Structure 1
Amino acid sequence: MALLEVKDVGYQYPSNSAQSITGVNLTMAANSLNVVIGPSGIGKSTLLNLIAGYIQPQVGELRMNGQPIQKASWQRGIVFQDMALYPWLNVTQNITFGPRMRKMASAQIEQRLATLLQETGLEKFKTSYVYELSGGLKQRVALAREFINQPDILMLDESFSALDNLTRDEMHQILLELWASSGNCVIVITHDIDEAMFLGQNIIIMNGKPGTVSQTITNPYFKVAFDEMANNPAYFEFRKMLLQQIK
């Protein structure tokens, strides 16, 4: 059984048809890293909101582990571009907010926290407040805050688009390491073709008006850095094909 099933899903915004989707079909497995790519305004974020349970489909259905997705849940975490961190809390308090609200045992929270602080390089910032951090450090906190919950599905909505190239590369590596250690299903929304090629085990292409999934491609260059492929014509042919698909 697939972890996530999206069957013939459609959602029409009455005042914003550009974000509407129709006839979306997807399956995703546990321990998979999936990138959804397409032009801006194609409905990528709408799809994420449906998977998260923030909105309900008007047509079709979404299931996780065979059960209908009917509301938001910590089992489906999401990291937005603006991160939505709590500025009145420090790094440790932000990261542990979710499990503390669910009354998780303190020893278990501390164990998960220690691991995540190390994996994200936040150990020396654990008592710092959000307003004291750079954009890249804030994104590390946002990732750790979701991974500490050990969600079955973790979604990132253009989460790294505002970062400079060096910081974005660092965040890519941190995400891959957290994903490898967690074994969960990660879904990344992006409009950056190179980010999609590096992060996507599976590349899901959306286009059309309203938006729909036109193709899902197994990526032969998953985790291969762009600068390693300078003399590989096949890499650039694959990249060109993806660009043509999303236009």
Structure 2
Amino acid sequence: MPLLEIKHVGYQYAGSGAQSIDNINLTLEANSINVIIGPSGIGKSTLLNLIAGYLKPQIGELRMNDQPIQKASWQRGIVFQDMALYPWLNVSQNITFGPRMRKVPKQQINQRLAVLLQETGLEKFKSSYVYELSGGLKQRVALAREFINQPDILMLDESFSALDNLTRDEMHQILLELWTNTGNCVIVITHDIDEALYLGQNIIIMNGRPGTVQQTVTNPYFKSTFDTMINNSEYFSFRRMLLDQLK
């Protein structure tokens, strides 16, 4: 059984006069990392908000584990570009906020926290407040805050777009390590074709007005960097094919 099924989903914002997305069909599995790429304004973030349960489709349905998605849930976490961290809490308190609110046993929370602090390189910052951190460190906190919940689905909405190249590369490695250790379903939105090629086992191409899924392709270059593929003509042919789909 697929983890997530999206069937003929459409959504229109009130007063907009036009559909944002239309006839979206997707099937995603557990233990997969999927990248959605497409031009601005074609409904990528709208689709994530529907999966998260923040919005309800006017047409079609979304199901997780064969159950309809009807409201927001910690089982479907989302990391936004602005991170939305709590400035009055320190790093550890930010990370553990969700399970503390759900009354998860303290020992279990502390065990998960210790592992995540180590995996994200935040151990020496665990008592720091988020306003004392760089943008890259804040994104580590935002990732850890969602992974500590052990969600079935984790979504990232342009989460790394504001970071410099070196910090973004570090975040890619941290994300892949966390995903490898949890085996959940990760969905990443990006405008960056090379980020999509590196992070995505599956690359989902959205385009059109209203936005729809044009194609889903299996990525043979998953975890391959631009630099390592510089002499690989097949890589650049595949990259060009993706770019042509986005025009």
- TM-score by structure 2 length? 0.99
1:20/1:210 contact within 8 Å kept: yes
Q: Distance in 1 between matches of 2:42 and 2:17?
A: 9
1:19/1:46 contact within 8 Å kept: no
Is 2:244 the partner of 1:244? yes
Q: CA deviation at 1:18?
A: 7.5
* Structure 1 residues without counterparts, runs of 5 or longer: none
Q: Distance in 2 between matches of 1:80 and 1:223?
A: 23
Is 2:56 the partner of 1:56? yes
Partner of 2:235: 235
Q: Secondary structure at the match of 2:24?
A: strand
Closer, same or farther: CA 26–48 of 1 in aligned 2, 3 Å: same
The number of equivalent residue pairs is: 247
Could you list the structure 1 runs, at least 4 aligned residues long, displaced by more than 6 angstroms after superposition.
none
Identity %: 82
Partner of 1:202: 202
1:11-160 → structure 2 map (5 Å cutoff) = 11-16=11-16, 20-160=20-160
Q: CA deviation at 1:13?
A: 1.6
1:6/1:26 contact within 8 Å kept: yes
Match of 1:230, as an amino acid? Answer: I
Deviation track 1:2-28 (CA, whole Å, cap 9, x = no partner) reads 000000000012344677000000000
Partner of 1:218: 218
Closer, same or farther: CA 186–17 of 1 in aligned 2, 3 Å: farther
Closer, same or farther: CA 17–195 of 1 in aligned 2, 3 Å: farther
Match of 2:65, as an amino acid? Answer: N
Q: Distance in 2 between matches of 1:124 and 1:18?
A: 49
Partner of 1:172: 172
- TM-score by structure 1 length? 0.99
Q: Distance in 1 between matches of 2:19 and 2:114?
A: 40
Q: RMSD value over aligned CA atoms?
A: 0.9
